[in-house]
Amino acid sequence: MASIAPLSGIKVVDLTKLAPGPHCTMILGDLGADIIKVEEPGAPTGRRAEQAAAAGKTQRRGTGLGLHNALGRNKKSIGLNLKSGPGREIFLRMTQRADVVVEEFRPGVAKRLGIDYPMLSARNPRLVYCAVTGFGQTGPYRDYVGHDLNYIAQGGALSMIGRKDQPPTIPQNLLADYAGGGMHAAIGVLAALLARHQTGRGQYVDIAMLDGTMLLIAQALSNHFGKGWIPRRGATTLDGSAPYYNLYLTKDEKYITIGSVEPWFYANLCRALGAEEYIQDEYNSARFDEIKARFAEIFKTKTREEWWEILTRNDICVGRMLTLDELEHDPQIRARNMIVEVEAPTGEKVKQVGISVKLSETPGSIRSLAPRLGQHTDEILADLGYGQHDIERWRSEGAIR
């Protein structure tokens, strides 16, 4: 018997464009939700045109990387001009039948468009409305612009990332955009849907990437509040000061990572490296530089794969630093289906990241690849009860695509 997806029957209207929102709706789509991505029809104008020109893009590409863009999978696309009368009316009808709306406008924009939570919830009290922003809907910074780097700086995380006596390391846009924003938004939506099951009403979900970033450093903040501890980069056990939690260059100029924090794992490591004399110095920080230097010499004597074989056999916390082109060949990643191949309508085979949440009874799935802008406009409008004559007229007026 075919399994039922956990979010089967949940309809999500997706107004997002950048990383956090599409990541949230990708997660919901992977778990079975029906995602309708609302995209602006036509060529960019105004500030969007300036941004496109600055990025060297003369045409709007609704799905960025096309079929290969994992953030666009399991979604349908409708081209809709929300500033037009028909576009706004279509949107309102869509949200009357929806369970969730996800947007990442700057605070106040949705209200100016007439599609904010009070407006939509008056028509659909069961609607869950999730807004993802950098600083949230309240507070003195609510109207400030920013990106991932700004939020992790303001949230304290950036101060902790990097090597000793070096400037902070910029960790791509992983923390605020994807973890602090997208994943927290998905959690918020799921919690609100569960609450609706109990109360019968939807609610407003206010997600700030600043807030999400701070939750990611909860343990460090707890240590600070309890002990007054402020971590210095490269000076703590988990960020490079200790020889047993570090990375080392191997003979073939690749990296091996060691995470042998516990005494028994550290002892195993010293024995495997032929450096038993350091077993008693696990907590002797005065010798850390000496031990790291010695370990570095030893790791340069064999290749990364040779060390991987030796250390995994000896019950040692170890990992190879794989580059993206190596991931699909790793047997564990293959066994967990974290690189998958999906067939496009054209017959093209497209590789993407797999589904991280493994559910035994109601697993998620990749049912479709990223759509073209407006690919499903006619289908969606027909489902809403609009006739072909209206669809053709609105398309000619630029209200839809």
pLDDT at 43: 56
Q: Say which range, 20-24, 118-122, 343-347, has the weakest mean pLDDT.
A: 343-347
User: Any catalytic annotation for residue 177?
Assistant: yes
In 3D space, the residue among 291, 4, 220, 312 whose CA is nearest the CA of residue 320 turns out to be 312
* Cβ 101 vs Cβ 120: under 8 Å: yes
pLDDT at 65: 72
Q: Which whole-number Å values give the CA distances from 195 to 20, 65, 86, 198, 200, in the listed order?
A: 23, 36, 33, 5, 8
Q: Say which range, 129-138, 213-222, 233-242, 317-326, has the weakest mean pLDDT.
A: 233-242
**Residue with the larger pLDDT of the pair 50 and 10:** 10
Residue 304: both structure tokens together = 């990364």
Identify the CATH homologous superfamily for domain 237-249+255-320.
formyl-coa transferase, domain 3 (3.30.1540.10)
Domain spans in the chain, listed from the N-terminal domain onward: 11-216+364-397, 237-249+255-320
Q: What count of other Cβ atoms lies within 10 Å of the Cβ of residue 101? A: 29
User: Any catalytic annotation for residue 147?
Assistant: yes
Q: What is the mean pLDDT of the chain?
A: 93
* Cβ 25 vs Cβ 35: under 8 Å: yes
Rounded to 10°, the helix 263-272/304-313 angle is: 130
Residue 44 confidence (pLDDT) above 70: no
Marked catalytic residue, from 147, 224, 378, 390: 147
In 3D space, the residue among 166, 164, 170 whose CA is nearest the CA of residue 150 turns out to be 170
- pLDDT, tens digit (0-9, with 9 covering 90-100), for 291-328: 999 999 999 999 999 999 999 999 999 999 999 999 99
The CA-based diameter of the chain, rounded to the nearest angstrom, is: 84
Q: Say which range, 3-7, 35-39, 355-359, 370-374, has the weakest mean pLDDT.
A: 3-7
Torsion of CA 253, 255, 261, 263, to 10 degrees: -40
* Cβ 134 vs Cβ 142: under 8 Å: no
- pLDDT, tens digit (0-9, with 9 covering 90-100), for 59-108: 444 334 788 899 999 999 999 999 999 999 999 999 999 999 999 999 99
* Cβ 179 vs Cβ 216: under 8 Å: yes
Q: What is the mean pLDDT of residues 369-376?
A: 96
| Fold classified for 11-216+364-397 | Rossmann fold (3.40.50)
Q: What is the mean pLDDT of residues 251-256?
A: 98
Q: What is the mean pLDDT of residues 42-59?
A: 48
Q: Which whole-number Å values give the CA distances from 214 to 205, 210, 222, 234, 344, in the listed order?
A: 17, 6, 11, 20, 39
Residue 253: both structure tokens together = 């100029």
Marked catalytic residue, from 99, 177, 211, 239: 177
Residue 58 confidence (pLDDT) above 50: no
pLDDT at 2: 58
